[in-house]
Amino acid sequence: MAPPLLRLDQIKLTFGGTPLLEDAALSVGEGERIALVGRNGSGKSTLLKIAAGIVEPTSGEVFRHPGATIRYLAQAPDMDGFADVHAYVEAGLGPADDPYRVTYLLEHLGLTGQEKPGQLSGGEARRAALARVLAPQPDILLLDEPTNHLDLTTIEWLEDELRQIRSALVVISHDRRFLENVSRSTIWLDRGVTRRLEQGFGHFEEWRDKILEEEERDLHKLGRQIVREEHWLRYGVTARRKRNMRRLGELQAMRNEFRTHRRAQGTAVLAASDSKESGKLVIEAKGLAKSYDGRVLVKDFSTRIMRGDRVGLVGPNGAGKTTLLSMLTGMLPPDEGTLRLGVNLEMAVLDQKRESLNPDETLAHYLTDGRGENVVVNGEQRHVVSYMKDFLFQPEQARTPIRELSGGEKARLMLARVLARPANLLILDEPTNDLDMETLDLLQELVTGFAGTVILVSHDRDFLDRTVTSVIAPEGDGRWLEYAGGYADMMAQRREMALTKREVKASGSRGSSQAETAAPEPKREEKRKLSYKQKFALETLPGKIEALAAEIAALEKKLADPELYAKNPDLFAKTAGELEKKREAHAAMEEEWLELEMLREEMEG
């Protein structure tokens, strides 16, 4: 096995209190694809900075192969001293690198290269930094939140780009679908310690949950053992004094272990404040249109949004999502068309622009609007510190200026303020930015369980698939269409529509060609039939699907054994891998059967 290009071992880093990193490790070999995951504030970005040589650890071993090139994507790039974006990106190239890569990457990331660094938005600066690290195709890419500020089209392009390059990857991201698509190994940083799973992120959450369950079980056993030892020392035989002193020492050690054990960080408590029920009709739009400087952003758009609907808006940056959202909520008048809002609407809005936060304002002042020490949630007064704890803030942070918060903490703070407002219509513009996956899960539960109506803008495909009942997407030239279901459903419907158009076009082309050469009398179209192979598959697939489902159930039962991982980790990993393959095969068979069944119905109908 080839030696690693980068290795961190027994890394410790402390700033005076509880160590941020206690026993962290990272090993990156040629061509490896690693997802680095963990809660906000767990030290992921810091570990990546240690790997890049930007931060020095308190102790531990750091090895970088002398011939390896490493590029690091920071969350806040420094572009001082460069005349324009093209010069900044070009400076990342080595002597043997292809300068055409700069133009190619800037074009796909929506930049011309002529932009001035001082005039860039946060998202544009981030895309320029991404182009700079990708341009030289280094041996190792260290990417900290590469999908932030990217639209869905660009995220999918980035996935393809990362799949094609030879570089090894270590990626931090809160985009589940992105991590599933680019990773082959997963490193979990939790309470200062790393654990490694030799499978992609798609297998991580189940693995993590098993580890946490085992830890809680072991801690419970330790607690019971302490109780038993205390009882023996008080009431047991005391003749063998020496043995008693040894057991007393062991008891003290167990007490210390139990007391100092760092439990897993708690989860945020997200709950929207209740409001009176809105009318059944929430929004009715007819023929909405909006243009800016001659550019049509929305043209002839109509929709009806009813109480309980959860609508997602997707599309490239600049397509007009925010414009359409503003018109639908009555905040922006349309150039044409009519808008009718339902009765009893109480709206709560989460704006994506965190720049609007006053950096000098304290957390407590922001949550209470400066009105004392209490915040009203669901009609009840709660002390602001108590409410902050629901969103994983510490009591001492109440007087902390907002400028000292991380991106994830700012996201949670804005959520805390929005969810305290009574509402039956939630407007969420990029609510998933900078949230860790555990908080994302809770936000997902809140959105799906919300009794009112939700309209959200998001580039997170997994979040959309889990939450929305329909998706509104741009089709070009200002046209927007609404699709039933989530993002994956929208893509499937688009593929089906494109296929139908191609078939109609091909049919029309054949018809014109035949009209030129054949007699004017039209021929009756012959009824199409399934081929023998398609018929055989249609008849045999249900039995295969059922048999495979039984095999999957047996493997799931085997993995459900809580002792399996502890007794035989290799067997556990082998079984989990086999289960994943069978699930994929099962899904593929069901998809094939469904397509054949639809084809049969179409031919018979």
Q: Is the dihedral of CA 411, 413, 419, 421 positive or negative?
A: negative
Contact 272, 348 (CB under 8 A): yes
Is 316 annotated in a binding site? The answer is: yes
Extended strands (E) in 325-422:
336-341, 347-350, 374-377, 380-383
H or E stretch covering 455: strand 453-457
Query: For the chain, how many helices (H) and strands (E)?
Result: 18, 20
Q: What SS3 class is residue 53?
A: coil
Is 557 annotated in a binding site? The answer is: no
Is 45 annotated in a binding site? The answer is: yes
Tell me the Cα Rg of the chain.
29
* Helix 569-604 / helix 532-559 crossing angle, nearest 10 deg: 150
- CA separation for the pair 18, 21 (Å, rounded): 9
602 HSE (CA, 13 A, CB side): 9
Find all residues with CB under 8 Å of 213, minimum gap 6, and list them. Answer: 562
Neighbour tally for 137: CB within 10 Å:
18
Is 44 annotated in a binding site? The answer is: yes
State the amino acid at position 555 in one-letter form. Answer: L
Is 322 annotated in a binding site? The answer is: yes
- Tell me the backbone φ, ψ of residue 114, rounded to 5 degrees: -90, -5
- CA separation for the pair 359, 362 (Å, rounded): 8
Is 318 annotated in a binding site? The answer is: yes
Is 110 annotated in a binding site? The answer is: no
- CA separation for the pair 481, 474 (Å, rounded): 6
End-to-end CA distance of the chain: 60
Is 123 annotated in a binding site? The answer is: no
Is 315 annotated in a binding site? The answer is: yes
Contact 264, 284 (CB under 8 A): no
Strand pairing class (295-306; 310-313): unpaired
Task: Report residue 226 as tokens.
Answer: 């302490």
Task: Give me the residues paired with residue 374 across strands.
Answer: 383
Please choose, from the candidates 432, 515, 351, 451, the residue with its C-alpha nearest in 3D space to the C-alpha of residue 175: 432
- CA separation for the pair 251, 539 (Å, rounded): 67
DSSP state of 197: E
Neighbour tally for 594: CB within 10 Å:
11
Task: Give me the residues paired with residue 193 across strands.
Answer: 23, 190
Q: Is the dihedral of CA 154, 160, 162, 166 positive or negative?
A: negative
- CA separation for the pair 169, 138 (Å, rounded): 10
Is 568 annotated in a binding site? The answer is: no
Please choose, from the candidates 233, 53, 78, 70, the residue with its C-alpha nearest in 3D space to the C-alpha of residue 141: 70
Contact 407, 75 (CB under 8 A): yes
Contact 402, 325 (CB under 8 A): no
With tokens 């895309």, the residue in question is 127
Q: At CA 450, angle to CA 444 and CA 452, rounded to 5?
A: 140
State the amino acid at position 568 in one-letter form. Answer: N
Is 338 annotated in a binding site? The answer is: no
Annotated binding site: 38-45, 315-322
Annotated binding site for ATP: 38-45, 315-322
